[in-house]
């Protein structure tokens, strides 16, 4: 009888030994991944701040990461927004040439420049008075704000040929948006206290250069990273690696991933011309390969984050992450 015949003691011993060896070999070849262990995943390639919602952004070398988003000097990410006369927020979706308005910090003033317009300035930190407290309606939230005055309001109305526009500021003492209250078609993991000012959902959006390069490889005409208005651009990683990260450490800063950034018509706007692409690119291409559950018919590109531990970051910083 062969020693490997069923039921023999030698056969059983041989089978157990073979299984043990196979397990050891498999463990060496395919080690178990500890998703909760922080590992190097890339570097900070660029930092962008967008002080006024839908206006031109600014590339910076270092920044403070706060619970509300990126801060650089007196600029705070998306703490100013344009509204209609009745307080409803306005974006590039309705007015693509918002992308051409550039805010510049000049001492205690913000100066706006735009094609065909003389510059206009207003205080970066206006006092709150009984006369300038106003409100802003963003999606389902109504928030208190500070009206930035008639001069800049008239300037904006002239630029857009749209009467009644106002510019609002979310002062430090005023109530902020809480991402946990966001109404989405899918369950999202934002917690009470995940705050932002006038951003659509949360304080941070991250995107990798590799993901953009992969997208551009599918397009007839490449698009720049500015089309996607991300705050932290990452390099030295694979395309869409950012989709798999759960929490990030950048120096002392701790960021927590919330959900995918779903894309709309805004990404089709040429940020240097203020016009939408007639073929709706790159949105049309993204829809062909970046639709994911549970996000419906909006393609995913980039990841929304919130800040659990504030601190400073700079271009070149290594990024460590756990996996989702």
CATH number for the domain harbouring residue 159:
2.40.33.20
Q: Is the dihedral of CA 204, 205, 208, 213 positive or negative?
A: negative
Residue 24 located in a structural domain: no
State how many domains the chain has: 1
Measured CA to CA, the distance from residue 63 to residue 219 in angstroms comes to 33
For residue 319, give the nearest of 249, 271, 242, 263 by alpha carbon: 249
Taking 60 as the threshold, does the pLDDT of residue 5 lie above it?
no
Residue 308 located in a structural domain: yes
Q: What is the pTM of this model?
A: 0.89
Residue 119 located in a structural domain: yes
State how beta strands 62-66 and 311-314 pair.
Answer: antiparallel
- For the beta carbon of residue 66, count every other beta carbon within 10 angstroms: 16
Residue 18 located in a structural domain: no
User: What confidence tens digit (pLDDT) does each residue in 260-280 have?
Assistant: 999 999 999 999 999 999 999
Taking 50 as the threshold, does the pLDDT of residue 215 lie above it?
yes
For residue 211, give the nearest of 290, 270, 265, 272 by alpha carbon: 290
The angle subtended at Cα 99 by Cα 270 and Cα 90, nearest 5°, is 120
Taking 50 as the threshold, does the pLDDT of residue 16 lie above it?
no
The stretch 269-294 carries a mean pLDDT of 97
Residue 33 located in a structural domain: no
Q: Check residue 34 and give its pLDDT.
A: 87
Taking 80 as the threshold, does the pLDDT of residue 44 lie above it?
yes
Backbone dihedral angles phi then psi of residue 266, each to the nearest 5 degrees: -60, -35
Q: What is the domain range of residue 98?
A: 39-323
Q: Where are the alpha helices (DSSP H) in 217-307?
A: 283-289
Q: Check residue 33 and give its pLDDT.
A: 74
**Strands, sheet with 102-106, edge to edge from the N-terminal-most edge strand:** 102-106, 109-113, 120-123
Q: What are the tokens at 261?
A: 């950034």
What's the half-sphere exposure (Cβ side, CA atoms, 13 Å) at 246?
Answer: 9
Confidence of residue 26 (pLDDT cuts 50, 70, 90): very low
Q: Check residue 234 and give its pLDDT.
A: 98
Q: Check residue 17 and give its pLDDT.
A: 54
Residue 19 located in a structural domain: no
Residue 25 located in a structural domain: no
**Between 19 and 247, where is the model more confident?**
247
Tokens 């756990």 — which residue? 322
**3 state SS of 70:** strand
Residue 237 located in a structural domain: yes
The stretch 303-320 carries a mean pLDDT of 98
Taking 80 as the threshold, does the pLDDT of residue 138 lie above it?
yes
Cis bond upstream, residue 125 (ω within 30): no
Taking 60 as the threshold, does the pLDDT of residue 2 lie above it?
no
User: What confidence tens digit (pLDDT) does each residue in 168-194 have?
Assistant: 999 999 999 999 999 888 889 999 999
Q: What are the tokens at 12?
A: 């059983």
């Amino acid at each position: 009888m062969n020693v490997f015949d069923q039921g023999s003691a030698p056969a059983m011993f041989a089978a157990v030994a073979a299984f043990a060896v196979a397990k050891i070999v498999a463990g060496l070849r395919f080690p178990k991944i500890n998703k909760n262990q922080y590992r190097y995943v890339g570097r900070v390639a660029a930092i962008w701040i967008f002080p006024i919602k839908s206006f031109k952004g600014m590339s910076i070398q270092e920044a403070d990461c706060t619970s509300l988003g990126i801060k650089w000097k007196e600029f705070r990410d998306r703490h100013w927004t344009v509204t209609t006369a009745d307080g409803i927020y306005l974006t590039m979706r309705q007015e693509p040439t918002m992308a051409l308005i550039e805010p510049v910090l000049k001492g205690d003033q913000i100066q706006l420049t735009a094609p065909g317009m003389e510059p206009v300035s207003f205080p970066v930190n206006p006092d709150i008075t009984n006369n300038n407290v106003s409100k802003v309606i963003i999606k389902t939230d109504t928030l208190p704000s500070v009206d930035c005055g008639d001069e800049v309001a008239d300037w904006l109305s002239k630029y857009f040929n749209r009467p009644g526009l106002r510019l609002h500021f979310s002062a430090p003492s005023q109530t902020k948006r809480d991402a946990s209250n966001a109404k989405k078609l899918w369950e999202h993991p934002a917690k009470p206290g995940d705050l932002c000012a006038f951003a659509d959902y949360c304080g941070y959006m991250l995107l990798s250069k590799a993901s953009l390069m992969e997208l551009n490889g599918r397009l007839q005409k490449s698009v720049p990273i500015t089309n996607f208005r991300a705050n932290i651009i990452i390099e030295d990683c694979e395309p869409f690696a950012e989709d798999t990260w759960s929490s990030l450490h950048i120096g002392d800063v701790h960021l927590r991933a919330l959900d995918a950034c779903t894309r709309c018509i805004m990404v089709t706007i040429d940020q240097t011309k203020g016009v939408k692409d007639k073929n709706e690119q790159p949105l049309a291409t993204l829809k062909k390969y970046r639709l994911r559950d549970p996000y419906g018919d909006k393609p995913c590109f980039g990841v929304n984050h919130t800040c659990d531990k504030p601190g400073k970051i700079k271009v070149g910083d290594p990024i460590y992450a756990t996996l989702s």
